[in-house]
Amino acid sequence: MTVSLGGRLEGSVLPSPVLDISGLRISYLDQNGPRTAVHGIDFSVFPGEVVALVGESGSGKSSTAQAIIGLLPENGRLESGNIRLNRLEIAGWSQKRLDGIRGSVISLVPQDPGNSLNPVRTIGKQVAEILVIHGKASGAAADARAIELLERVGLNQPALRAKQYPHELSGGMKQRVLIAIAIALKPSLIIADEPTSALDVTVQKHILDLIDELRREFGTAVLLVTHDLGVAADRADRLIVLKQGRIQEQGPTTNILTNPQSAYTHRLLADAPSLNVRQRRVAAVAKAEHGKAGDDIIVVEGLVQDFGRGGKDKGLRALDNVSFRVRRGTTHALVGESGSGKTTTIRSVAAFQKPTAGKVIVDGLDLSAPPRETLRLLRKKIQLVYQNPFGSLDPRQTIAGIVEEPLLNFEPIARAKRAEIVASTIEKVGLPLDVLQRRPHALSGGQRQRVAIARALVLNPQILILDEAVSALDVTVQAQILSLLDTLQRDLGLTYLFVSHDLAVVRQISDTVSVLNGGKIVESGVVEDVFEHPQSAYTRELIDAIPGKKHPLHASRSTLTNSGNI
Amino acid sequence: MARYIFSRVGQALLVLWAAFTISFVLLQAMPGDAVLIKFQNPEYGLNAVQIAEIRAAYDADGSVVLQYVHTIGNFLTGDFGYSLQAGVAVSAQLAANLPSTIRLAGLAFAAAALLAVIIAVLSNLPGLGRLRSFIQSLPSLFVSIPTFWLGIMLIQIFSFRLRLVPVINPGEWEGLILPVLTIALPVSAPMAQILLRNIDEVLTRPFVSVARAKGASHTFVLWRHVAKNALLPVLTVAGVLFGELLAGAVITETVFGLNGIGSLAEQAVNFQDVAVLQAIVVISAAAFVTINLAVDLLYPVLDPRLKAKLGGVA
């Protein structure tokens, strides 16, 4: 780690900040006129320092980052305030003037590596471009330098990569390319805007390590914008906590984590799954054992799923001999990185596809060779809740219509009775009844996810498949939804099949877990056992990659829970 | 890749065959035929028996299936039969008329593409203000103008009022100016619309922000990053628009009194000259199919993502 700010403050001379923000106000023009997103914030970033801007959606963290680099969306406006970059006031600069410093003095590592490279230009050209734009190199020299940079960020076969197109690289590789671009001209400040939120947890760790390493090598300061307190806790020297465009508090990371001053930070810390190994509502071990032995509502045995075009094409084996059992009334989590087969598994359990081989038995119904009637019965037993609460609700239907729809697909129920069922379901998920006549766009992300849960519950299913159902939500909302799921499970005796890439959340909500890698189950068992004593190297790697390990409280709390379990 | 080309060429041939067959059936289904229309004319003074003999000579009496097999065989060997009205080989008529239509259509298409690009470039110039929304509304205006009306208006304004372009005995190229414009305007409109929308859409993609963050100027980003991405979808539309171009040529050639496939088609329709019509339908379909085949084959060359997918198949 670099010298902490605390260390620097004790020194006699305070170095001048790389970035000094004061009174920054940003507003957006939408249908209802101007709306202020950032209400006059002040902070500084010193040379070589990592400062994290943390906050939930709508906190203004991304707006702040965009304003600094002069790339606010078209309807965004920098109302007032100063942005000093190396003591140079750039707040009022024209785009043309900013072009001179963007990329050379200040650069960006973007959020979504998948869409942040031009799909029709080669990797090499896109890296070389930054050198050409700033007149540092051209032609063959720029291409050669691009290959060096690609090598520097840890890409194997850099010369080959330079000739490839973005779609030929994985997400992590693309993010390395983007980092190569960001460091090409050794800027004094890198803005990393959620640099790893689209990546798998092990890749996330490697990318953050790389940023850390390069920062140290070049003495570059990093402004890390993130919603993930675990990441911020691990990587930042100082934290700035934003809420609705105002700074709640800022200071050295350790101070804020151990002794938060504002109530908001308190709650944020309490809700962040990666920073807490919370006491479970019912100890998982106990619950898993108390359930009637043999009462397994989901039995998957030797499941094999091939995808292919048939013929001589060998196709792809997405699942290979997957077996697990879920006891009634418990939560089983499927974890793994993208491409591990989580989604394929739940699609088989929901009978959206026919297994190539193996058995899937859901509450006594054998889905390996399901007759039509079995499928209809199954649809009432098993329901899905998807990740994206914005995409999974029809924007033109009212909430009442959305929740009612599943009822219309089965035996007819009188209109009044339907309305009654819908209303009681909406109450179950903790929404006020007046949402019924509204449409999805009028609701927040958390409310929409409650509606999606209500829609799943309206048929009185026994199993809910939760496909990354809390991954798109802010931590405080996530905590609320998780606790709602908890209550519903207890009240209704539901069984959850919980699919997530977020191990911290999995640890919090599930009783048992299966770890998938490359279509095979590498490990499964009771959550505490798997997390505390992982047997396979892959599980260990996954668990090690969970951010938040450096949180000073983490160690102590974790021991606490351990002793509690013993 | 080879499989891709093979399947696309196969599809193109299938479309050609279907066009031939459908037009053949429709033309056969029409009451009367060219022989009757021509020789029933009292001026010839032929009686029913003589007409029947002529019909037999032209093979207009044989069974439909036989005629179909006969005609398709002839088409495959490049023999399009004889025009009853003109009394010459259809291939000779095509040879005489095709070049001028190709020239008209080609120029019109180039003009349309140019116009679309000009509109797109103009509307993305910085500092336009209100003018930008005016330029962006031009395509909707163009697309709603009927071709025949536009042709007549252009003649009225540029030839009769302003006397800029002569309509009577114009020079070979001079005479093309107004017809080309007449066809180009409505064809350019959908291209421009799609191009404008694509540019706006591509500008919101994250890679554009990344390019700006490298220090690239707006203009640089437009040309180096946005242009190619925005043009790809236009290519598909261009293929389809080519069909519209051919339809436009028929009307425009008639309005401007130009020789070409369009005016040939108009005459052939008037006289139910089946052989000529059949040949024109097949030629148009061939042109349409060829252009779209070219677009399909060009796509993987321009878009590396498609090439990869096809490479995987081959």
* pLDDT tops 50 at residue A565: no
Q: How confident is the model at residue A304 (pLDDT cuts 50, 70, 90)?
A: very high
Q: How far apart are CA A448 and CA A439, in angstroms?
A: 10
pLDDT of residue B127: 73
pLDDT of residue A284: 46
Contact present, A300 and A367 (Cβ < 8 Å)? no
CB contact under 8 A, A133 and B214: yes
pLDDT of residue B211: 95
Contacts of B218 in chain A (CB under 8 A): 95
Contact present, A224 and A235 (Cβ < 8 Å)? yes
Q: What would the mean pLDDT of A206-220 be, rounded to a whole number?
A: 91
Q: Which of A249, A288, A357 is nearest to A524 (CA)?
A: A288
pLDDT of residue A190: 96
CB contact under 8 A, B207 and A117: yes
Q: How far apart are CA B262 and CA B251, in angstroms?
A: 7
pLDDT of residue B176: 83
* pLDDT tops 90 at residue A208: yes
CB contact under 8 A, A121 and B225: yes
CB contact under 8 A, B206 and A111: yes
Sheet of strand A50-54: strand arrangement: A106-109, A189-193, A221-226, A50-54, A238-243, A246-252
pLDDT of residue A564: 35
Q: What Å distances lie between residue B130 and A32, A224, B78, B136, B205, CA to CA?
A: 22, 39, 57, 10, 25
Name the B residues in 112-151 with CB < 8 Å from any A CB: none
Q: What size, in residues, is chain A?
A: 566
| Burial of residue A527 (number of CB atoms within 10 Å: 0-12, 13-18, 19+) | buried
Which tokens sit at B300? Answer: 């993987």
Contact present, A69 and A101 (Cβ < 8 Å)? no
Contacts of A115 in chain B (CB under 8 A): 205-207
* Average pLDDT in chain A: 86
The pTM for the full model equals 0.81
pLDDT of residue B62: 66
Q: Chain B residue with minimal CA distance to A65?
A: B213
Highest mean pLDDT among A7-21, A178-192, A468-482, B143-157: A178-192
CB contact under 8 A, B209 and A71: yes
pLDDT of residue A225: 95
- In order, the DSSP letters of A534-550 are --SHHHHHHHHH-S-TT
Q: Which of A196, A496, A542 is nearest to A340 (CA)?
A: A542
Pick from A107, A115, A120: CB nearest B303: A120
Pick from B207, B224, B308: CB nearest A167: B308
Q: How confident is the model at residue B58 (pLDDT cuts 50, 70, 90)?
A: low
Q: How far apart are CA B213 and CA B254, in angstroms?
A: 55
Which tokens sit at A369? Answer: 């060779």
Encode pLDDT of A241-271 as tens digits.
999 999 999 999 999 998 999 999 988 888 8
Encode pLDDT of A494-521 as tens digits.
999 999 888 888 988 899 999 999 899 9
Contacts of B308 in chain A (CB under 8 A): 165, 167-168
Q: B179-210 b/e with 16+ CB inside 10 Å = b?
A: bbbbbbbbbbbbbbbbbbebbeebbebbbbbb
Q: How far apart are CA A250 and CA A21, in angstroms?
A: 13
Q: How far apart are CA A166 and CA B140, in angstroms?
A: 36
pLDDT of residue B31: 66
pLDDT of residue A33: 84
Contacts of A130 in chain B (CB under 8 A): 214-215
* Average pLDDT in chain B: 83
Encode pLDDT of B7-34 as tens digits.
889 998 999 999 889 988 888 777 666 6
**Of all helices (H) and strands (E), which one includes residue B125?**
none
* pLDDT tops 70 at residue B213: yes
pLDDT of residue A413: 87
Q: How far apart are CA A505 and CA B214, in angstroms?
A: 37
Q: How far apart are CA B265 and CA B276, in angstroms?
A: 8
Interface mutation vs chain B, best among A116, A125, A174, most B CBs within 10 Å = A116
Contacts of B86 (CB under 8 A, 6+ apart): B93
pLDDT of residue A289: 52
- In order, the DSSP letters of A199-256 are S-HHHHHHHHHHHHHHHHHHT-EEEEEES-HHHHHHH-SEEEEEETTEEEEEEEHHHH
Contact present, B211 and A118 (Cβ < 8 Å)? yes
Evaluated on CA atoms A236, A241, A244, A247, the torsion sign reads negative
Question: Scanning the structure block, which residue is given the tokens 């599930």?
Answer: A510
Contacts of B228 in chain A (CB under 8 A): 120-121
pLDDT of residue B35: 67
- Number of inter-chain CB pairs under 8 A, A vs B: 81
Kindly state whether B302 is in contact with chain A, defined as any CB-CB distance less than 8 angstroms: yes
List of domains in chain B: 1-85+304-314 (no CATH), 94-270 (1.10.3720.10)
Contacts of A435 (CB under 8 A, 6+ apart): A399, A426, A443, A447, A451
Interface mutation vs chain B, best among A62, A94, A120, most B CBs within 10 Å = A120
* pLDDT tops 50 at residue A283: no
Q: Which amino acid is at B81?
A: G
Q: How far apart are CA A24 and CA A247, in angstroms?
A: 11
Residues facing residue A499 across a β-bridge? A334, A467
List of domains in chain A: 5-105+187-271 (3.40.50.300), 118-182 (no CATH), 284-394+462-565 (3.40.50.300)
Evaluated on CA atoms A97, A99, A101, A107, the torsion sign reads positive
Evaluated on CA atoms A119, A125, A128, A131, the torsion sign reads negative
Report helix, strand or coil for A50. Answer: strand
Name the B residues in 234-253 with CB < 8 Å from any A CB: none
Contacts of B161 (CB under 8 A, 6+ apart): none
The CA distance from A23 to the nearest CA of chain B, in Å, is: 24
* pLDDT tops 50 at residue A566: no
pLDDT top residue among A369 and A65: A65
Contact present, A232 and A204 (Cβ < 8 Å)? no
Query: How many of the other CB atoms lie within 10 Å of CB of B89?
Result: 15
Q: How confident is the model at residue A561 (pLDDT cuts 50, 70, 90)?
A: very low
Q: What Å distances lie between residue A169 and A144, A172, A339, CA to CA?
A: 20, 8, 15
* pLDDT tops 50 at residue A25: yes
Encode pLDDT of A86-131 as tens digits.
999 999 899 999 999 999 999 999 988 999 999 999 999 999 999 9
- In order, the DSSP letters of B159-174 are IIIS--S-SSS--TTG
Q: How far apart are CA A400 and CA A408, in angstroms?
A: 13
* Residues of chain A above pLDDT 70, percent: 90
Encode pLDDT of B87-138 as tens digits.
888 888 888 888 888 888 889 999 999 999 999 988 888 777 788 888 888 8
Which tokens sit at B237? Answer: 């539309």
Q: How far apart are CA B223 and CA A28, in angstroms?
A: 28
Encode pLDDT of A129-143 as tens digits.
999 999 999 899 999
Pick from A110, A120, A133: CB nearest B210: A110
- The DSSP secondary-structure symbol of A59 reads S
